Amino acid sequence: MDLEPQSRRRNLAAHQLWEEISDPDGEDQVAFRRGQRMVARLARKHDPLARNIPLQWRADGSYLITGGLGDLGLKVARWMVEQGARRLILLGRSKLPPRSRWNALESGSHLARQTAAIRELEELGANVHLVSADVADEKQLSAVIERFQAEGWPAIRGVVHAAGVLQDGLLAKLDGAAMNTVLRPKMLGGWLLHRLLRKTPLDFFVLFSSAGSLMGQPGQANYAAANAFLDALAHHRRDLGLPALSINWGAWAELGFAETAGGRNLTSRLALLGIRSMPPERALEAMSRLIREGRPQGAAIPVDWSKYREFSPSDTVPALLCELVAEGAATPSQAVRRGEMRDAILDADPNQRLQLLQTYLSKRVARVLGLSPSQLDIQQPLTNLGLDSLMAVELKNRISTDLGVNVPMVKFLQGFSVAQAATQLLGQLAAEAGDPADRQASAPEAPGENGSDRFNEAVLADIDELSDEQVNSMLTRMLTKDAVTSE
């Protein structure tokens, strides 16, 4: 809640705050300005034709890239050179070996790839200035800028702040060190660049933010906060009449974090929601368009909104995204049929309900596993068929949306079969509907189900707040413990 800044009408602010607390309407980002209540929405941006003109790259200007020796920084550097830039400053904390040793670097190593990329930039006609410094250290950054100016290099005309660090963890487990590690390069680095180059006439000042500061991502509270600062900094600069653009990026394919084990797990989970990775070429095209449009903030995220809507329970879609999610809504006839699934089962003859649920579940499970329903053995535990924790989350959410009942995810991962799940669901549906015909129906206990499973289910009730690595680790420990106990 963002109340009126510097408002002297404290009673009005208190009233506005009380109204929001006592009568919530699902909005979780609210601001008041001049008495008007405003809420946040992410909306599709249509590129004005008037802005579709090439960027102008100055032959007498230099372009600074922080995180310049990282995969993203080097990709941006090559794009700049291909567009016409001829003088680059690549700033990073790591220090490359002397050029005399570049030929002796191990082929395929990270250093070898970095030096090869720099040589390619020079072969394309660029003059590359390599700087080893911490962008979040004021003394180091000031010395770099002063030395650069003293050496007579062409003035800096553009900045891309791409430096960043990831250190994921649950909010309750984050300490000062884990916060500072992630906040420093983005927040302090962004602020120092703004302050030290404030009087420098720049053509652009681009901040690499993240979609996480808009949409949220479990386990990345520190990263979301750091990027939210960059978003605010861009708006602050524009209020001062200075150039600024904060880009809330989705994942870039085949670069940096996307190539780590954690990145691949996250990419897989997001893909279930229809959130894809971007080829670098597409991302750079988006950056070019956003710079030309002249707005202080834009998001570049390739999303299949119909899939996002399909696999996200309706009560979990953030208000920020509701307009885009609505674009991907099914046709009215499809929405009605989907909404009638629960009633259709309860309205059927009691002797047919179990078969209807088995057919429904077979289709849903087959889709998650990438199989044909005819290939499923409804008596086989789903884990034997290849179901993992990510798939179980998708299946659980889909059932919740279609039938309005919640099946603890741990049941799918501790030996539930389609037949057992159908029996469990039938009992839950009948109980909630007050139908005595099936009230006694309950699933046979899954293998290893005992008192400890109730603890497991309590833990997994908060599964959406855990990172994928934590989920997989927790489930592995649970299943291993159960296996040992059963032996």
Q: Between the CA of residue 37 and those of 4, 13, 17, 32, 73, what are the distances in Å?
A: 10, 12, 11, 5, 40
The pLDDT of residue 458: 47
Q: What is the mean pLDDT of residues 212-219?
A: 80
Query: What pTM, to 2 d.p., does this model score?
Result: 0.73
pLDDT of residue 138: 96
pLDDT over 80 (residue 459):
no
Structure tokens at 108: 């395929």
When pLDDT is averaged across residues 370-389 and rounded to a whole number, the result is: 83
264 vs 35 pLDDT, higher one: 35
Domain 49-311 coded CATH 3.40.50.720: yes
| pLDDT for the residue numbered 125 | 94
Average confidence (pLDDT) over 216-232: 89
Q: CATH assignment of 334-486, given 3.10.290.10, 1.10.760.10, 1.10.1200.10, 3.30.70.370? A: 1.10.1200.10
Higher pLDDT, 134 or 338: 134
The Cα-based distances of 449 to 32, 108, 453, 454 in angstroms read 52, 50, 6, 9
Q: Which of 232-236, 429-433, 449-453 has the highest mean pLDDT?
A: 232-236
- Residue 345 confidence class, pLDDT cut points 50, 70, 90: confident
Q: Tokens standing for 84?
A: 């016409």
Instruction: Give the mean model confidence (pLDDT) for residues 438-449.
Output: 47
Q: What is the DSSP letter of 152?
A: T
Same fold for the domain at 49-311 and the one at 334-486?
A: no
pLDDT of the residue at 134: 95
| Cα–Cα distance measured from residue 190 to residue 102, given in angstroms and rounded to the nearest whole number | 31
pLDDT digits (tens, 9 = 90+) for 43-95: 887 765 545 667 889 988 999 999 999 999 999 999 999 999 999 999 999 89
- The pLDDT, as a whole number, for residue 476 is 52
Could you give the angle at the alpha carbon of 76 between the alpha carbons of 72 and 78, nearest 5°? 120
Alpha-helix runs per DSSP H in 278-349: 280-293, 305-311, 322-327, 332-339, 341-347
E strand residue ranges, 373-477 = none
Residue 145 exposure: Cα atoms within 13 Å on the Cβ side: 24
- Return the domain boundaries, the chain: 10-39, 49-311, 334-486
What pLDDT is recorded for position 482?
40
103 alpha-carbon distance from chain centroid = 39
pLDDT band at 433 (very low <50, low <70, confident <90, very high): low
Segment 328-356 mean pLDDT: 69
Of 43-57, 276-290, 360-374, the range with the lowest mean pLDDT is 43-57
Percent of the chain's residues with pLDDT above 70? 79
User: Which of 159-168, 345-354, 423-432, 456-465 has the highest mean predicted lDDT (pLDDT)?
Assistant: 159-168
Phi, psi of 91 (to 5 degrees): -110, 130
Sequence-distant (≥ 6) Cβ neighbours of residue 257 within 8 angstroms: 166, 251, 263
CA quadruple 133, 138, 140, 141: dihedral sign = positive
At 271 the pLDDT is 75
Q: What are the φ and ψ backbone dihedral angles of 267, each rounded to 5 degrees?
A: -60, -40
**Given a cut of 90, is residue 427 above it in pLDDT?**
no
| Rounded Cα distance, 265 and 81, in Å | 33
